[in-house]
Structure 1
Amino acid sequence: MSDDLTLHAHLVGRQGGRADLNTPVLVVELASLDRNIAAMAQRVAAHGVGLRPHAKTHKSVDIAGRQLAAGALGVCCAKIGEAEALAAGGVTGILITSPVAAPRAIDRLAALAGQADGLMAVVDHPAVAARVDAALAAAGTTLDVVIDIDPGIARTGVASAEAAVALARAIAGLPRLRYRGVQFYCGSQQHIEAYGERRAAIEERTAWLQTVIAALAAAGFAPEIVTGSGTGTHRIDLDLGVFTELQAGSYVFMDKQYLDCDLVGDGSCPFETALGVDARVVSANHSGLVTIDAGFKSLSTDGGVAVARVGAPESAFFAFMGDEHAALIAPGIGDALAPGDPVTLTVPHCDPTVNLYDHYHVVDGDTLVAIWPVSARGRAR
C-alpha cells in the first residue's frame, strides 16, 4: 500500500516529521491558512457583507468547517458532485454556482435539496428551471435559486436585463423554486495584474450589473442576494458596495497567479502563501540544473509554472520535464543541492493542483499536524 495514510499517519505529531514525507506531497501551512481565513472574514464583516467562499479551491470539508467557524454564510461549489461531498461532511449553506442541467444531475440536485441545509443553486434558462421544479416536486422538496448573469464571457448566465426579468417571471410561476437574487462572477477580470486596470474593468462591469438589478427591481424582483466576486477583485467589489456576499476562494491558499497581481493597489499582499508542494531533488549531475520529482502529475499547467519557495533560489527557472519530473535551473544550483534535498514549490494555480491529490498534509513548520482528505477531489459531475 502506498496511500497517504499508510505512508504518513505515523508521522503526525512528530517534530520534524515533515522531512520524512514521501514526495511529491501537497502541504498546507496551518497557521497561514487560519490567518488568511480570518483576514477575509474580518474584511467583509467590516463592510457589512457576507462571505460564501468558493470551495472549488480547496474541495475540503475540514477547510470549509474552518471558514464557517470564522463566520462564513456557507460555501460555493462548482458542481453537484462537489456539493454532495461537502454536504455529506456536514457543510451547510452551499450554493452551486454552475447551472445543473443534465437530467440525472437534476435528479441528484432535487435529492440533495431535501438533505442539505441551506442549499441554493443557480439557474440561467427557463426550461431548465422548469425541469428542476418538476424534479423537486417528485422528491417532495423545494429549492432556493439565484439567476446567473453572464458578465460578458458567454460561458453561463443570462445575457441581458430582459432575459433576467423573463427568467425571474418564469421562476415565480414554479411552485418548488424560490427566487433569491442574482450571481455575477467576473472570472476573466480576476487575474488582471495591474490594480488600476482591474478596477476599471470591474467598475464598467458593475455598472452594467446595476442596470440588470434595476430592471429586476422595476419588475418586482429586487434581488435579496447579489453574489459574486473573487480573490482578485474582492477589495474593489467591497468598495463598490453592490454585492451582498462575496465568493472569493483562492485567498485561503494564494497561488502564483494571484501573487502576481496587485490585489489592493499598493503592491502589498493581504494574504499569505499557505499551499505548496513539497518535492525533492532526484538528480543533480549538472552544475546549472537539478531535477525534482514533481512534474505534470503533481502541478497544474494552466497557470504558468511553479516557483521554488524554500530549499532553492526563488529565481531558479522552473521547467517541466515530463509526467514525473521538472528542472530547477540556476547558476551553480547543481553544486548547491544534492539528491534527496527538499524543495517547497508555490503552485501555479491552486484549484486544479489540489485536484491532483487525495490528501492535504497539514504542517506547522517542520511538524506534520494532520492529514485531511481532499473531500471533493474529482467530483466534476
Structure 2
Amino acid sequence: MTDEELHAHLIDRQGSRRDLNTPVLVIELDALTRNIDRMAAFAASKGLKLRPHAKTHKSPEIARRQIAAGAIGACCAKLGEAEVLADGSVTRGLHITSPVVSAPAIARLVALNARTEDLMCVVDNPDNVRALGEAAKGGKPLTVIIDIDPGIRRTGVASPEAAVGLFRAIRAEPALTYGGVQCYCGMQQHIESFADRKASMEDRAAYVRTVIDALTEAGGAPAIVTGGGTGTHRIDPALDLFTELQVGSYVFMDSQYLACDLTGDGQGSPFETSLMVDARVVSANARSMVTLDAGFKAFSTDAEQPVVLFGASPGAKYVFMGDEHGALIVPEGEPPALAEVVTLAAPHCDPTVNLYDTYHVVQGDTLRALWPVAARGRSR
C-alpha cells in the first residue's frame, strides 16, 4: 500500500502520529518553518541572495516555501532533480551544480532551459562547453557557471589558467551566456570547531580570489559567485566573496551539522531538528534492550548511528541490527514497551530522505499533510 492509502485518513486527526505505520519519515512543520525563515532573514541581513540546495529535501513543496520566504530559486545536484522541481512549479532560478555531459542529458537540459527562467548549469571542461553550445544553437541561450575546484578534486577547474581558458571557450559559443563562478567548499562544512572551519574557509577564499582576479583581468569578472553552505553560513558573508549561498541542510539539521559549532558564540545551533524517523518497538524480550523496526533501510549509514530524540529514557542508544531492525540499548530506566514509538534523528539527511517516498508532516502529535519526496532517486 502507498503512504497515501495507509495514512491519508489520519490527516488532522488529533494524536494521529501515534498511528502511523513505521518506520516513517517525519517533518515537524513548525520547526521546518522556523528554519526556513531564520536562514532567509540571515541572508537578507547580510545582503546575500539565497539559492538553497534541493538535494537535501528533493521536494517542490519545500522549495516553494523557501522561495516564498525570499530565496531566488533552488540548486539541484542533478538534472533529474531540476526537472522534478520544474514539474512542481519551481520554474525560476534553478541551478544545476554538477556537470551535465552526456548527449541525452544535454538534450534534456536544453529542453528544461526552454520551459524555465534563469536556469544555470556548471561547466569545468572545454569539450563540455562546446557540446552545450552546439546543442543550444537556434534556441534560448543557456547560462553557464564556471565550477572552481576548492581542493576536493571532485569537479571544477583546477587553476586560474584553466578558468580563463574555460571562460574564453564559453565566449566562443554564441548560444551560451557566461554567468559567473561556483565554489562549494564541501570539505569545510563539517569541521566541528568554528575557529578551524573559519581558518580553512579563509584559506580557500584566498585561492578563489586568485581565480576571480584572473577571470576579471581576462574580461570575465563574475556577476555571480555561488557557494557557501549550512556549515559555513556564519563565516561566508565576512569573506566578501559570495553573492549567494547554496545552503541546504539547515532546513532539517541532521546529526552531522548539530555536532558542529555553527556560530562560534556558544549559543548553540540557530536551527532545529525538523526531520526525524519514527520507529516502533517490535520485540521486547531482552533486559535493557528492545528491538525497533528501523534498520539499514531506514537510515543512511555514512555517518554516526541515529540519535534517540524521544520515546526512551535519557542515555538510550540506537545500534543497527540489520536491514530491517535496530537495537535500542537502555542502560537506565525502563525500556519502552512493545508497540511503543521511538523517534530518532536522521544521521545524514540527504541520503536518508532518498530512502522514503513520502514526508509525513506533523504538528506535535497530529499528522497535517503528506508531501511526496518527488525527486527521490532522480540522480541522473
Fold shared per TM-score above 0.5: yes
Q: Does structure 2 retain, via aligned residues, the 8 Å contact 1:288–1:330?
A: yes
The match for 2:127 is 127
The Cα shift of 1:290 comes to 1.1
The Cα shift of 1:241 comes to 2.1
**Quick check: 1:327 aligned with 2:327?**
yes
The match for 2:308 is 308
Q: After superposition, what is the alpha-carbon deviation per residue over 1:191-239, rounded to whole angstroms, capped at 9, x for unaligned?
A: 0111111111101000111111111111110000000011000110012
Q: Does structure 1 retain, via aligned residues, the 8 Å contact 2:290–2:335?
A: no
CA distance in 1 between partners of 2:4 and 2:339 (Å): 22
CA distance in 1 between partners of 2:315 and 2:167 (Å): 53
Secondary structure of 2:234's aligned partner:
helix
Aligned length: 378
- Residues 179-258 of structure 1 correspond to what in structure 2 (within 5 A)? 179-258=178-257
| Cα 1:205/1:314, change in 2 over 3 Å | farther
The match for 1:148 is 147
The Cα shift of 1:314 comes to 4.9
CA distance in 1 between partners of 2:89 and 2:38 (Å): 24
Secondary structure of 2:308's aligned partner:
strand
The Cα shift of 1:141 comes to 2.1
Q: Does structure 2 retain, via aligned residues, the 8 Å contact 1:307–1:314?
A: no
CA distance in 2 between partners of 1:181 and 1:346 (Å): 37
- Residues 4-23 of structure 1 correspond to what in structure 2 (within 5 A)? 4-23=3-22
The Cα shift of 1:186 comes to 0.5
The Cα shift of 1:172 comes to 0.6
The match for 1:266 is 265
Q: Does structure 1 retain, via aligned residues, the 8 Å contact 2:315–2:332?
A: no
The match for 2:96 is 96
The Cα shift of 1:263 comes to 0.4
Secondary structure of 1:281's aligned partner:
strand
Q: After superposition, what is the alpha-carbon deviation per residue over 1:231-265, rounded to whole angstroms, capped at 9, x for unaligned?
A: 00011001222100000000000000000000011
CA distance in 1 between partners of 2:54 and 2:167 (Å): 27
The Cα shift of 1:312 comes to 1.4
CA distance in 1 between partners of 2:311 and 2:265 (Å): 29
Larger displacement relative to structure 2 (54-63 or 323-332): 323-332
The match for 2:24 is 25
CA distance in 1 between partners of 2:68 and 2:314 (Å): 35
The match for 1:117 is 117
Q: Does structure 1 retain, via aligned residues, the 8 Å contact 2:288–2:335?
A: no
**Quick check: 1:297 aligned with 2:297?**
yes
Larger displacement relative to structure 2 (237-246 or 56-65): 237-246
The Cα shift of 1:332 comes to 4.3
Q: After superposition, what is the alpha-carbon deviation per residue over 1:327-348, rounded to whole angstroms, capped at 9, x for unaligned?
A: 1112146x43111011111110
Secondary structure of 1:201's aligned partner:
helix
Segments of 4+ moved more than 6 angstroms: none
Q: Does structure 1 retain, via aligned residues, the 8 Å contact 2:61–2:371?
A: yes
The Cα shift of 1:134 comes to 1.0
- Residues 41-52 of structure 1 correspond to what in structure 2 (within 5 A)? 41-52=40-51
Q: Does structure 2 retain, via aligned residues, the 8 Å contact 1:119–1:143?
A: yes
Q: Does structure 2 retain, via aligned residues, the 8 Å contact 1:287–1:331?
A: no
Q: Does structure 2 retain, via aligned residues, the 8 Å contact 1:295–1:326?
A: yes
Q: Does structure 1 retain, via aligned residues, the 8 Å contact 2:40–2:69?
A: yes
The one-letter code of the counterpart of 1:197 is D
The one-letter code of the counterpart of 2:148 is I
Secondary structure of 1:166's aligned partner:
helix
The Cα shift of 1:118 comes to 1.7
Secondary structure of 1:235's aligned partner:
coil
The one-letter code of the counterpart of 2:10 is L
Secondary structure of 2:137's aligned partner:
helix
**Quick check: 1:63 aligned with 2:62?**
yes
The match for 2:283 is 283
Q: After superposition, what is the alpha-carbon deviation per residue over 1:78-122, rounded to whole angstroms, capped at 9, x for unaligned?
A: 000000000111112110000001111111111111012221100
CA distance in 2 between partners of 1:307 and 1:43 (Å): 28
CA distance in 2 between partners of 1:112 and 1:314 (Å): 50
Q: Does structure 2 retain, via aligned residues, the 8 Å contact 1:287–1:332?
A: no
CA distance in 2 between partners of 1:95 and 1:314 (Å): 43
CA distance in 2 between partners of 1:133 and 1:71 (Å): 32
The match for 1:354 is 353
The one-letter code of the counterpart of 1:28 is I
